[in-house]
A and B are shown apart, each in its own frame.
Chain A
Amino acid sequence: MKVYVPRDAAALSVGAEAVARAIARLGPDAEIVRTGSRGMFWLEPLVEIETPAGRVGYGPVEPETVSSIFDGTHPNALGLVEDLPYLKNQERVTFVRCGVTDPLSIADYRAHGGFRGLETARNMAPAAIVEAVLQSGLRGRGGAGFPCGIKWRTVLNEPADQKYIVCNADEGDSGNYADRMLMEGDPFLLIEGMIIAGLAVGANQGYIYVRSEYPHAFRTLNDAVAIARDAGYLQGFDIDVRLGAGAYICGEETALLESLEGRRGQVRPKPPLPAISGLFGKPTVVNNVLTLAAVPTILDKGAEFYRDLGMGRSRGTLAIQLAGNVKHAGLVEKAFGITLREAIYDFGGGTASGRPLRAVQVGGPLGAYFPESLLDTPLDYEAFAARKGMLGHGGVVVFDDTVDLARQARFAMEFCAIESCGKCTPCRVGSTRGVETIDKIIGTHEPAKNLELLRDLCDLMVDGSLCAMGGLTPYPVLSALQHFPEDFAR
């Protein structure tokens, strides 16, 4: 009997390891397969048992109740997992194997369609691979949404004796976990994507820069790279996994490159673009985990398949990460275009507290706070930008009516004051002055004058900062001011 128990960090954090041990003890005949997570965190630890009809789920399972899954009497029996509406209503493209396969079984990966994209790519000219990615409409999933194919074309056309592929796995946004899930649940997909990227631009070395807070992902990737290397997949293109420096700013691509080079993670001015002068001064593709992980599908199923998903200029699928005060926190992979409301209610089931929803922050700690009235905004880069928000990496954090948006605005400035790389003045000094100025406003110390000063400061940070960190910090502040002015005048 095959029993599937996740080894994903989210499952481990709620006792998956103890559950796996209990299963081994109580069901000596059980063949335990450790998988990634399906991304339904309220069900973790989610145990699945193979049956002729399909995989039947139980969750959450505690070590003490393990015995009842063997006789089918477990109170949290879920039936066929694939039929759960939360999963069934998704469009899993990138996360199709996540939670299904053994992340470190290359045979399992291949059996589930792995390396087909690479096989296709190997028979294509570099320019043709780049063209396919361009045609697919794939945009950078790290947050900026820059067309991936254009970046790759720049690197391809740059003459150099050495080029690099760098995977940005420094997933630091609060409420974001899709990169981690993929690295822990389907690392070969990322490796395949990087190999294809190497073929496309003529790079022979890749780096994966994993944030230091992700020890499981780091270990899984290292194991996966070793396995792929042993299986001969990394001939002519090798991958090195590097542990990050524990700084939010290292998720900024140029600071990441500095850090990879062994320096302090500090933002570099652009130009030059990393595509022209990146790691060690060489042309470098820097892509997010999910961008690279989307590539094998594009090569396997064709650019049209991917392009046909989505809306407007946002093509393919988005990994929506529901978090915060939400009933069913978890990963929802959907084609672009679903509204925020659908994501939060149809999948998330509304607030966990049951109280009314008051605000949603999309795109990480530097994303805008949207009020209830904007919940019908479709998840689309341009639609969000039009409402002075940003989609970012797809993180959705829900707040109920107990939230104080002035405090949240203050938090944005405080976050920036702590996490700024310290290079440019608007960000380094401005964020601290921002906290102080919001404190004055909250403390009703010359509120009108200080509100004006805060707006000036926000303008300065948006227009004057060196990178997106300082430039985006005002977003949560300005959105809070715009949509929740009452919180600043209590």
Chain B
Amino acid sequence: MTDFGTPKRLSDTLVTVEIDGKPVTVPKGTSVLRAAAELGIAIPKLCATDSLEAFGSCRLCLVQIEGRRGTPASCTTPVESGMKIQTQSPKLAKLRRGTMELYISDHPLDCLTCAANGDCELQDMAGAVGLREVRYGYAGENHLASKKDESNPYFTFDPAKCIVCSRCVRACEETQGTFALTILGRGFDSKVSAGNTNFLDSECVSCGACVQACPTATLMEKTVIAQGQPEHSVVTTCAYCGVGCTFEAQMQGNEVVRMLPYKDGKANHGHSCVKGRFAWGYTSHKERVLDPMVRARITDPWQKVTWDEAIRHAATEFRRIQAKYGRDSIGGITSSRCTNEETYLVQKMIRAAFGNNNVDTCARVCHSPTGYGLKTAFGTSAGTQDFDSVEQADVILVIGANPTDAHPVFASRMKRRLRSGAKLIVIDPRRIDLVDSPHVHAEYHLPLRPGTNVAVINAIAHVVVTEGLVNGPYVAERCETAAFEHWCRFIAEERNSPEATAAQTGVPAADLRAAARLYANGGNSAIYYGLGVTEHSQGSTMVMGMANLAMATGNLGRAGVGVNPLRGQNNVQGACDMGSFPHEFSGYRHVSEDPTRSLFEAAWGVSLQNEPGLRIPNMLDAAVDGSFKGIYIQGEDIAQSDPNTHHVTAGLAAMECVVVQDLFLNETASYAHVFLPGSSFLEKDGTFTNAERRIGRVRKAMPPRNGMADWEITMALSTALGYTMHYAHPSEIMDEIARLTPTFAGVSYEKLDRLGSIQWPCNANAPEGTPVMHIGGFARGKGRFMITEFIPTEERTTPRFPLLLTTGRILSQYNVGAQTRRTPNSLWHDEDVLEIHPHDAEFRGIHDGDLVALASRAGETSLHARVSERMQPGVVYTTFHHPESGANVVTTEFSDWATSCPEYKVTAVEVRKTAQRSDWQQVYSETRASTTHVAGD
């Protein structure tokens, strides 16, 4: 792919210049270097690359400009109308050769054995300028004896090969926004440094931007050093978080050599994080299961069987259970990690072959309130903007999200915008990194008590309404008048004021008022939120509260504004879109709507139930009650990820046939009777839909190591159940989705290949998709204000459980950790720890690193403590990436009123020093080995 040397400039003013006698017209502000590249003229360069601002250090791109003195660098010289530029002359050739001579006088001459051989810009430039001799010799002062830093698990830093172009330093600053790298020393002693320590111990977050930016072998992936240069590549979509980065899987045959973020990827624009970039080794981890297995009882060892046997066994069992306990006694769970096509097939099988609507998905436990709340207010169950929109935001309001850890690539874009002037407000119980990080500082951090979101958002809206900050014309034109007036009366009541709610929320009224004014008056204001909003008993209410605020201030329906959920898993948006919820078909249409159901009945050739099915927690309740006996779970680990582990495992244990389809024998598989090995994202075709509704292609880079792609497994199971499915390729599944789903009507693989990706809705009205929604009017017609009364959760601190536990994520690990724990990412986070404020720790005699018991009314576990000022007093925090941590042993059954999304973010707990692991952990570690034992292994 052409590197144009400097970033693209956007300008309505065009400038025409002449380069080597050829005219070229480019936007004002474009560099001479880029203008030349657009003409196909490659001016030699080393420090310039089009992902970074011009720097002007290598002095290879010098040119001559008619009427100007000297030889300016073309990367730092913007075009000016009528300029006549010469890129080659004897003088320029001599200067460039002279510069290369200097570079090579301090560079090892080991090209043939260098890992960058064939992919080295220094090597290319030596050739381009015709360097034939280094007259200085090689005996002068040099850096060749510098020590290589191999501390990072994924890449090495070899200062002997460094040309000090600062591309790594600039990438760390401009692209990633971490500022971990710097140049130390002056003059000849200048060198790249990770802050005077090694890379692993530094601030480096291992995003890979520096490695990608390095023009030599100085920063180099260890996989490339081990394997050599790739020979072909496949463009695909990352299978980690909801940002949905586009990557190039660079291959040697069927082996991945490296994953490189793809410059034309519209979600990530060439950036990546430590997970997508490096943590893909789990796909070939030794614990990955490749053979189907069955067992009669969960206490038996697993028996390896053929695919046929496994599928037949599962189908027979499901039919047996239905014959015995009724049609509604089985169900299934779709996966937010699998493709749209796979998800669609699972819900289709459940509705058509199982004959009921007992299908749910892991979005139940994360963003189901988003779907409910936004659909109620706007008419669409999805975020309103594209990621690019953040570039036009003036005020960014982050609520209950920790983007630098959970959505790092988007966080980098957000930080870039914040560095260039946008204002930041953070509403979060913790002082997350974003509050105070290099060159980014929150204007206001409102550190609310967990569980008081709705009170805070109401108080903000109260300020807007009572201080006359409502955008009256917008509301009058776009929203339902009666509902707005009702809401206004409600929100203006004194009990919703910042002063009245401060005691409960813990947020100083003056700060809240100031933040509210900034949001309302700051220009384009955009809300970004995460699970800190949804995973509460009032999750849906809070989503509606944010929607109310955005509507009241007119911050919807254009670029730079909006209400934006940061989705957790790669395809959680897609899983919801595809009809994974028990009450709706694809495209969020209720099963009771006759015309829609008839459409599906006609297409699928069966009659379908018109009543909603069971949600996951209801399935588990019903299992404990004895009316639900079998389940098919594709790529989800409810035994680790869902709340109140005791209840989840009791439900699973009560079932007669649990079928788990996954890469690994996960925690849920301990309760399974049939294990169907899954395929990784590298091994199949399909699509993922990210948090901005962007449908991106997943492309097969290698054949499935388990023998079958997940969609093929579902197809086989359905067929074995007597409901035959025939798809030769996932594109045919997408064609069916498009036929049956108005918001996907215009989507096809052919179009995806052509456009790269598409944001739904994509149909006749928007043939190339919809980056920003609700322009000109809301999807439901008029926006609807909802009354959002603050009703405190019943989960409250008591003398016995005086602290509040809230949970979250960390950068290096992903969700239940099934993937990342099986990579060197564990080097950064090998266990979940309990963060606790120094006051709370001191009161309990707890020191940093102590083993502490964490108990709630639901259960007890133990973790090591980390004493941290990041916490507010009275609140403790942990992550849930490691099963043995048992974070969900502690969380309770309370959930969102509308969607049953669990209240992970608020649990009353007590913490005390302990000498031993909890009972649950002891039983877990004793039984885990036996429940995963495979006969013969």
Binding site for B on A (CB under 8 A): 247, 249, 264, 266, 269-271, 416-426, 428-433, 436-437, 449, 453, 456-457, 459-460, 463-466
Residues of chain A within 8 A of B70, CB atoms compared: 463
Residues of chain A within 8 A of B71, CB atoms compared: 463-464
Q: Other than A269-B73, A419-B187, A463-B95, give 16 A-B pairs with Cβ distance below 8 A.
A: A266-B183, A269-B55, A422-B189, A422-B190, A423-B166, A424-B56, A424-B57, A425-B103, A429-B188, A430-B102, A431-B187, A432-B141, A436-B141, A464-B98, A465-B59, A466-B56
- Whether B186 contacts A421 by the Cβ 8 Å rule is yes
- Whether A271 contacts B56 by the Cβ 8 Å rule is no
Q: Looking at B95, B135, B185, which has the most chain A CB atoms within 10 Å of its CB?
A: B135
- Whether A418 contacts B77 by the Cβ 8 Å rule is no
- Whether A453 contacts B136 by the Cβ 8 Å rule is yes
Bound-state CA distance A147–B55 (Å) is 27
Residues of chain A within 8 A of B105, CB atoms compared: 429, 433
Which of under 10, 10 to 19, 20 to 34, or 35 or more describes the interface residues of B? 35 or more
- Whether A419 contacts B166 by the Cβ 8 Å rule is no
Whether a CB of chain A sits under 8 angstroms from the CB of B54 is yes
- Whether B188 contacts A417 by the Cβ 8 Å rule is yes
Bound-state CA distance A426–B94 (Å) is 13
- Per CB-CB distance, the 4 closest pairs between chain A and chain B, nearest first, are A422-B190, A269-B56, A269-B76, A460-B98
Residues of chain B within 8 A of A436, CB atoms compared: 136, 140-141
- Whether A428 contacts B164 by the Cβ 8 Å rule is yes
- Whether B102 contacts A433 by the Cβ 8 Å rule is yes
**In residues 77-136 of chain B, which contact A (Cβ within 8 Å)?**
77-78, 91, 94-95, 98-99, 102-103, 105-106, 135-136
- Whether A433 contacts B140 by the Cβ 8 Å rule is yes
Whether a CB of chain A sits under 8 angstroms from the CB of B471 is no
Min CB distance B539 to A, Å, is 41
Whether a CB of chain A sits under 8 angstroms from the CB of B182 is yes
Min CB distance B166 to A, Å, is 7
- Whether B95 contacts A264 by the Cβ 8 Å rule is no
Contact of A456 among B98, B140, B163, B164 (CB under 8 A): B98
Residues of chain A within 8 A of B73, CB atoms compared: 269, 466
Q: 1/0 per residue B151-169: CB within 8 Å of A? A: 0000000000001101000
- Whether A418 contacts B187 by the Cβ 8 Å rule is yes
- Whether A466 contacts B188 by the Cβ 8 Å rule is no
- Chain B residues touching A, majority SS: loop
Whether a CB of chain A sits under 8 angstroms from the CB of B638 is no
Residues of chain B within 8 A of A432, CB atoms compared: 140-141, 187-188
Residues of chain A within 8 A of B58, CB atoms compared: 424-425
Known: A419-B187, A428-B188, A429-B102. A269 touches B59 (CB 8 A): no
**B62 (CB) vs chain A CBs: closest residue:** A464
Known: A433-B102, A436-B136, A436-B140. A466 touches B59 (CB 8 A): yes
- Chain A residues touching B, majority SS: helix
- Whether A422 contacts B136 by the Cβ 8 Å rule is no
> Can you list 14 A-B contacts (CB < 8 A)?
A269-B75, A271-B77, A418-B187, A420-B190, A423-B56, A423-B166, A425-B57, A429-B105, A429-B188, A431-B188, A433-B105, A453-B136, A464-B99, A466-B59
Min CB distance B75 to A, Å, is 8
Binding site for A on B (CB under 8 A): 54-59, 62, 70-71, 73, 75-78, 91, 94-95, 98-99, 102-103, 105-106, 135-136, 140-141, 163-164, 166, 182-183, 185-190
Residues of chain A within 8 A of B187, CB atoms compared: 416-422, 428, 431-432
Min CB distance A416 to B, Å, is 7
Residues of chain A within 8 A of B75, CB atoms compared: 269
Residues of chain A within 8 A of B183, CB atoms compared: 264, 266, 422
Known: A269-B54, A271-B78. A460 touches B99 (CB 8 A): yes
Q: Looking at A249, A421, A429, A460, which has the most chain B CB atoms within 10 Å of its CB?
A: A429
Bound-state CA distance A425–B163 (Å) is 9
Bound-state CA distance A432–B105 (Å) is 11
**B95 (CB) vs chain A CBs: closest residue:** A464
Residues of chain B within 8 A of A271, CB atoms compared: 76-78
Min CB distance A389 to B, Å, is 19
Min CB distance B842 to A, Å, is 36
- Whether B54 contacts A429 by the Cβ 8 Å rule is no
Residues of chain B within 8 A of A431, CB atoms compared: 187-188
Residues of chain B within 8 A of A421, CB atoms compared: 186-187, 190
Bound-state CA distance A423–B183 (Å) is 9
Contact of A422 among B56, B102, B185 (CB under 8 A): B185
Residues of chain A within 8 A of B164, CB atoms compared: 422, 428
Residues of chain B within 8 A of A269, CB atoms compared: 54-56, 73, 75-76
Min CB distance B130 to A, Å, is 15
Residues of chain B within 8 A of A270, CB atoms compared: 76
Bound-state CA distance A418–B187 (Å) is 5
Residues of chain B within 8 A of A264, CB atoms compared: 182-183
Bound-state CA distance A464–B187 (Å) is 16
Known: A432-B141, A437-B136. A247 touches B186 (CB 8 A): yes
**A248 (CB) vs chain B CBs: closest residue:** B186
- Whether B103 contacts A420 by the Cβ 8 Å rule is no
Residues of chain A within 8 A of B185, CB atoms compared: 422
Q: Looking at B58, B75, B136, B141, which has the most chain A CB atoms within 10 Å of its CB?
A: B136
Residues of chain A within 8 A of B106, CB atoms compared: 429
Residues of chain A within 8 A of B54, CB atoms compared: 269
**A453 (CB) vs chain B CBs: closest residue:** B135
**B58 (CB) vs chain A CBs: closest residue:** A425
Min CB distance A71 to B, Å, is 55
Min CB distance B7 to A, Å, is 15
Bound-state CA distance A459–B90 (Å) is 13
Bound-state CA distance A270–B54 (Å) is 11
Residues of chain A within 8 A of B140, CB atoms compared: 432-433, 436
